[in-house]
Chain A
């Protein structure tokens, strides 16, 4: 196995040119994912996690476009590829599980038709063989009576089942890279554990690299090797999963972890981060979190540099620099 990353994103900027102004949905994002590694991407709703995923796959529609940066998949910059070559990669070497399963599923085709098509786009196998692989893939994501569910149309499945069919389709060809966007949002704990087990198996056995986008901190702390936290189009903190959950450095990450309901506050008001998400339309130079931050300093009006308190541990905040570490 090589040690170079499967995916390397460098200073990616994806902006939407709307009539109201430029929405800087992704504004200078960099990270690597190595073979067999799971990188968790968490962050505020609307901070640019999905658009980061879409950009990697070349799926950003006008008025949005990648304005700068590189996306290297196995050392090749795929932002430079034409649409045909990109389509060849998608669903074959790179798979995406969309936040909305209906972006994967065609509403007018039966599940078996869609799955057989995916298998045969990748491998030259008979219909019978492809159907058998599809049945197997459905049972691995915990769908009971898979041979009968194969004949269903998407609308005949429950929300969680649709989500699982989309996961099965993404995993079926054992891709090198999976971008999973909130894949288990509506799944109960037992079935979620089954899916996470399958994801771990795929990483371990096939060396698949995964970018796992989620807001479920309990899941990501147990699943990911490393975590990146996004806020207003930028990554504000990275580190190993243990470090980020146990000792968050960025005030946004601290606020996020403080909002998780605990068992002893039943019925009481939950802690929320004060204020509203900033508009991505006219972001200034300074720290985008400053207006909501309880630790804000005058210097936060300037663009905060990225500090690296230890190797692989990064934070875009001036606080860790001026504070004596505890």
Chain B
């Protein structure tokens, strides 16, 4: 990519969730019911490097593995295979002080704020505890520190005595954002971080993210289903399909030259716009493949209008098709 050293790098990163049979299932299997252990191939050999100060957008269908990839990169979920490097060092081999430093430097804003906030802690503790423990503020300055963090995400200081259940959905998700920013991270995984906010507050949070990047070189992996927002803030966009990266390109190139991969083309064709017409929505055609049973070859072949015999057998590699642009599609071999 660029010459700047990577803050975060993923090498051959995979995650499989194996569901063991429960007792009833085991008995049934013994009796020949054909029940087997289920394996979800959530993330399949992902290679990715993110440079300091870069904003990388990650998009793809619901269930394609975005959150799983984000959680592995944030060091919150062990990988089945592969490594995550933080500033060139394998996170799994860090210990003591350097492990703690990496843990603080890489923060995640969760897709589901409710489950990620301690229901029995007041907001002042949720946002203020970690910065106090790690010496980013003093006990005397803590109230002002917390107020400032809340104000940045548009929450009034009066909210800090409340518990998470006493907030609206969008207010709760902003508490999650304030908590992550309060420890002054270097790298932020934002998993649908602004999905629950109205557009004006979305704009405020996006502006805040861009300011932090300008002032502190904060680096982002920005997971979102909202292509409009991703196109607005990301330098580079990654498109995932069923656990694999299918295309990676600078945002400007993706918009100006159009996507290369057939799935990316289908996805970007559907960016919704503020239409003024009531319209009839159409159902999805054909069956959506599942990561429980990914199709062989190119994962996209059952839905791809260009699929050939080779696509059904051989998985296409993610290869450079132009400087800085990668795509995983056999069509690129034919030209």
> How far is B279's CA from A245's CA once the two chains are assembled, in angstroms?
14
Given A160-B62, A182-B169: A45 and B192 within 8 A (CB)?
A: no
In the bound complex, do residue A221 and residue B197 qualify as a contact, i.e. CB atoms below 8 Å apart?
no
| A241-284 Cβ-contact flags toward B at 8 Å (1 or 0) | 11001100000000111011101011101111100110101000
Contact of A45 among B59, B197, B282 (CB under 8 A): B197
B206 closest partner in A (C-beta) = A270
Give the shortest distance, in Å, between A203 (CB) and chain B (any CB): 11
In the bound complex, do residue A185 and residue B207 qualify as a contact, i.e. CB atoms below 8 Å apart?
no
In the bound complex, do residue B276 and residue A186 qualify as a contact, i.e. CB atoms below 8 Å apart?
no
Given A45-B198, A102-B115: A189 and B168 within 8 A (CB)?
A: no
Chain A CB within 8 A of B61 CB: yes
Most-contacted residue by chain A among B115, B191, B251 (CB, 10 A):
B115
Given A197-B282, A265-B232: A20 and B158 within 8 A (CB)?
A: yes
Question: Which residues of chain B come closer than 8 Å to A142, judged between CB atoms?
Answer: 62, 284, 288
Chain A CB within 8 A of B322 CB: no
Question: Which residues of chain A come closer than 8 Å to B271, judged between CB atoms?
Answer: 189
Given A188-B59, A188-B60: A261 and B196 within 8 A (CB)?
A: no
Chain A CB within 8 A of B289 CB: yes
Chain A CB within 8 A of B135 CB: no
Most-contacted residue by chain B among A152, A188, A193, A273 (CB, 10 A):
A188
Question: Which residues of chain B come closer than 8 Å to A16, judged between CB atoms?
Answer: 166
> How far is B114's CA from A245's CA once the two chains are assembled, in angstroms?
32
Given A158-B67, A242-B278: A44 and B114 within 8 A (CB)?
A: no
Question: Which residues of chain B come closer than 8 Å to A304, judged between CB atoms?
Answer: none
In the bound complex, do residue A255 and residue B200 qualify as a contact, i.e. CB atoms below 8 Å apart?
yes
A241 closest partner in B (C-beta) = B278
| A27-57 Cβ-contact flags toward B at 8 Å (1 or 0) | 0000000000000001111110111000000
Chain A, interface size category, equals 35 or more
In the bound complex, do residue A156 and residue B171 qualify as a contact, i.e. CB atoms below 8 Å apart?
no
| B92-124 Cβ-contact flags toward A at 8 Å (1 or 0) | 000000000000000000011011000000000
In the bound complex, do residue B112 and residue A102 qualify as a contact, i.e. CB atoms below 8 Å apart?
yes
Give the shortest distance, in Å, between A254 (CB) and chain B (any CB): 11
| A124-166 Cβ-contact flags toward B at 8 Å (1 or 0) | 0000000000000000001011001101100011111100100
Question: Which residues of chain A come closer than 8 Å to B288, judged between CB atoms?
Answer: 142, 144
Chain B CB within 8 A of A85 CB: no
> How far is B115's CA from A157's CA once the two chains are assembled, in angstroms?
14
> How far is B17's CA from A160's CA once the two chains are assembled, in angstroms?
18
In the bound complex, do residue B161 and residue A159 qualify as a contact, i.e. CB atoms below 8 Å apart?
no
- B219-246 CB contacts (< 8 Å) to partner A: 225, 227-229, 231-233
In the bound complex, do residue B158 and residue A186 qualify as a contact, i.e. CB atoms below 8 Å apart?
no
In the bound complex, do residue A242 and residue B283 qualify as a contact, i.e. CB atoms below 8 Å apart?
no
Nearest first, the 4 A-B pairs at minimum CB distance are A45-B170, A160-B62, A270-B203, A144-B290
Given A193-B284, A259-B203, A276-B154; 12 other pairs, CB 8 A cutoff? A20-B161, A45-B196, A45-B198, A99-B169, A144-B287, A186-B225, A194-B281, A197-B281, A222-B272, A263-B228, A267-B233, A272-B203
B residues sitting closer than 8 Å to A (CB atoms) are 17, 19, 38, 40, 59-63, 67, 111-112, 114-115, 151, 154, 156, 158, 161, 166-171, 174, 191-192, 195-204, 206-207, 210, 225, 227-229, 231-233, 251-252, 255, 266-267, 270-284, 287-290, 292-293
Q: Would you list 8 pairs from A and B whose C-beta atoms are within 8 A, ordered by A residue?
A: A18-B166, A142-B284, A145-B290, A159-B67, A218-B272, A221-B276, A266-B255, A276-B151
